[in-house]
């Protein structure tokens, strides 16, 4: 068995190299903290990831000197998120109405390119190490404290990383969070989401995020250049029943929702092209134990509604790095510091999850049997009072709290 960080170990080990784990690793390493990040996949190339970067994330990247490199990645800018209704188009969130001159849009960027930028930058820091592919399998304990983690490499060999602080950034299914006895509380969610792609033609709307609402279901489209990233929200738990039918069921539904897509629905060959996202909204009551902290989706699983999960994960990482960098270097992280991280991030998460619940409810409330379908409340309001379109835009773009990088991690 290999023992990484033997002796006094590393200052911090992180399970998971998603947005939260890599950003935290990079910021801490720039502050002189010795960090090991352990990631189970060999690369970042998975299509089941959130790709929306909001203003809060872009501002953080500017602070750490990565704004230019980020904007050099091919991306699409989305200025508005609109409802498509039988009655016409209504803006749900208008980013162009945001105050300030910079980032009056959301950016749609392949998450793997963004993560690779963080990785390459972090690997320039002498105190940073990324180990992959390596699956974290458990926690090391000493007395009542978490003292690091265990992982299995691609040859099946077991390793240990000893650390002063262990951080779970391994997403909504985090195994070490459960092992630490931290169990998330789920809010009731009535929807699941099918995630698939359709070709996009030059004649289609451009730079768009479109939401087609019909009969209590929503088809969302994000302009990704030569394809539409589509999310089709269905009733919770109804996926298996739908999949007993031919996939033409979905093709027909798309055609009913947006007839101009009919010419390309044949691109969905079968149900294998349609991934199911089990939509969850959950959060931990307590994010930490002695020697252990959860961040990002491991602490609070987000719905894809509004496309904010990546940004919240980045904000968690920035707040944690600012609060913990110095105590980590001095090896004196205790409950007080970990509690401070949770306190700092609790309200933004609560408010955003509440916004997502409202979004689910007011766009997806189906008409009662025998009742005529009427316009959902939210588009009705937005159409009547257009300046209101800035409110969802502001909540999505910066949320309740913009977090900043620690001073030692900033670059021009």
Ligand X SMILES: Cc1cc2nc3c(=O)[nH]c(=O)nc-3n(C[C@H](O)[C@H](O)[C@H](O)COP(=O)(O)OP(=O)(O)OC[C@H]3O[C@@H](n4cnc5c(N)ncnc54)[C@H](O)[C@@H]3O)c2cc1C
Task: Rank residues 16 and 184 by Cβ distance to ligand X and give the closer one.
Answer: 16
Give the interface segment with ligand X, choosing from 4-12, 159-167, 259-267, 291-299 (CB under 6 A): 291-299
Count CA atoms closer than 13 A to 393's CA, side-chain side. Answer: 25
Residue 166 pairs with which residues in a beta bridge?
Answer: 13, 292
Cis (ω within 30 of 0) for the bond into 133? yes
Shortest distance, position 263 Cβ to ligand X, whole Å: 25
Q: Can residue 395 be called a binding residue for ligand X (CB under 6 A)?
A: no
Pick from 32, 41, 205, 339 the residue near ligand X by CB under 6 A: 41
Shortest distance, position 200 Cβ to ligand X, whole Å: 16
**CA distance to 9, 28, 36, 155, 175, per residue, from 130 (Å):** 15, 13, 6, 17, 19
Q: Can residue 21 be called a binding residue for ligand X (CB under 6 A)?
A: yes
Q: Can residue 304 be called a binding residue for ligand X (CB under 6 A)?
A: yes
Shortest distance, position 41 Cβ to ligand X, whole Å: 5
Pick from 184, 296, 376, 392 the residue near ligand X by CB under 6 A: 296
Q: Can residue 19 be called a binding residue for ligand X (CB under 6 A)?
A: yes
Give the interface segment with ligand X, choosing from 37-45, 155-163, 208-216, 351-359 (CB under 6 A): 37-45
Contacts of ligand X in 148-207 (CB under 6 A)? 169-171, 175, 195
Q: Can residue 399 be called a binding residue for ligand X (CB under 6 A)?
A: no
DSSP-derived pairing of the beta strands 52-53 and 275-277: unpaired
SS (H, E, C) 175-229: HHHHHCCCCCEECCCCEEEEEEEEECCCCCCCCEEEEEEECCEEEEEEECCCEEE
Give the interface segment with ligand X, choosing from 15-23, 330-338, 382-390, 398-406 (CB under 6 A): 15-23
3-state secondary structure of 357: helix
Q: How far apart are CA 166 and CA 10, in angstroms?
A: 10
DSSP assigned state of 248? H
Q: How far apart are the first and last CA of the chain?
A: 42
Task: Rank residues 329 and 338 by Cβ distance to ligand X and give the closer one.
Answer: 338
Q: Can residue 37 be called a binding residue for ligand X (CB under 6 A)?
A: no
Would you put residue 174 in left (φ > 0), alpha (ψ -120 to 50) or beta? Answer: beta
Shortest distance, position 63 Cβ to ligand X, whole Å: 19
Q: Can residue 318 be called a binding residue for ligand X (CB under 6 A)?
A: no
Q: Can residue 49 be called a binding residue for ligand X (CB under 6 A)?
A: yes
Residue 345 tokens, joined? 């991030």
24 in Cβ contact with 124 (< 8 Å): no
- Cβ contacts of 100 within 8 Å, gap of 6 or more: none
Pick from 127, 184, 307, 376 the residue near ligand X by CB under 6 A: 307
Shortest distance, position 115 Cβ to ligand X, whole Å: 8
Contacts of ligand X in 219-278 (CB under 6 A)? 277
Binding stretches for ligand X (CB under 6 A): 15-21, 38-41, 48-52, 135-136, 169-171, 175, 195, 277, 296-298, 302, 304, 307-311, 313
């Amino acid at each position: 068995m290999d023992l990484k960080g033997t002796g006094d170990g590393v200052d911090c080990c992180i399970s998971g190299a998603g947005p939260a784990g890599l950003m935290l690793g990079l910021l801490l390493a720039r502050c002189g903290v010795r960090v090991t990040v352990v990631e189970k996949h060999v690369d970042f190339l998975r299509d089941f990831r959130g790709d929306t970067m909001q203003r809060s994330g872009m501002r953080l990247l500017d602070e750490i000197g990565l704004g230019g490199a980020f904007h050099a990645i091919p991306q699409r800018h989305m200025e508005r998120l609109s409802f498509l209704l039988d009655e016409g188009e209504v803006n749900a969130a208008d980013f162009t109405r945001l105050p300030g001159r910079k980032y009056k849009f959301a950016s749609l960027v392949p998450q793997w390119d963004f993560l690779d930028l963080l990785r390459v930058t972090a690997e320039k820091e002498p105190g940073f190490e990324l180990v992959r592919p390596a699956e974290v399998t458990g926690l090391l304990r000493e007395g009542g404290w978490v003292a690091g983690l265990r992982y299995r490499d691609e040859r099946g060999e077991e390793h240990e990383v000893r650390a002063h602080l262990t951080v779970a950034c391994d997403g909504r299914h985090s195994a070490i969070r459960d092992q630490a006895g931290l169990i998330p509380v789920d809010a009731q969610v009535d929807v699941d989401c099918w995630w698939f792609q359709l070709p996009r033609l030059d004649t289609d709307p451009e730079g768009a995020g479109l939401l087609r609402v019909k009969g209590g279901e929503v088809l969302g489209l994000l302009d990704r250049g030569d394809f539409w990233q589509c999310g089709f929200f269905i009733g919770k738990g109804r996926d298996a029943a739908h999949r007993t039918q031919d996939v033409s069921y979905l093709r027909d539904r798309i055609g009913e929702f947006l007839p101009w897509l009919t010419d390309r629905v044949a691109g969905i060959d079968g149900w294998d092209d349609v991934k199911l996202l089990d939509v969850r909204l959950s959060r931990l009551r307590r994010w930490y134990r002695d020697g252990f902290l959860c961040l990002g989706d491991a602490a609070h699983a987000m719905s894809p509604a509004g496309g904010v999960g990546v940004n919240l994960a980045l904000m968690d990482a920035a707040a944690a790095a600012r609060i913990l960098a110095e105590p980590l270097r001095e090896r004196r992280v205790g409950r007080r510091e970990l509690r401070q991280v949770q306190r700092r991030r609790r309200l933004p998460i609560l408010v955003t999850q509440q916004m997502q619940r409202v979004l689910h409810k007011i766009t997806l409330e189906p008409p009662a049997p025998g009742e005529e379908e009427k316009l959902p409340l939210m588009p009705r309001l937005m159409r009547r009072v257009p300046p209101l379109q800035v409110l969802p835009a502001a909540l999505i773009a910066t949320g309740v709290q913009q977090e900043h990088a620690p001073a030692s991690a900033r670059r021009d």
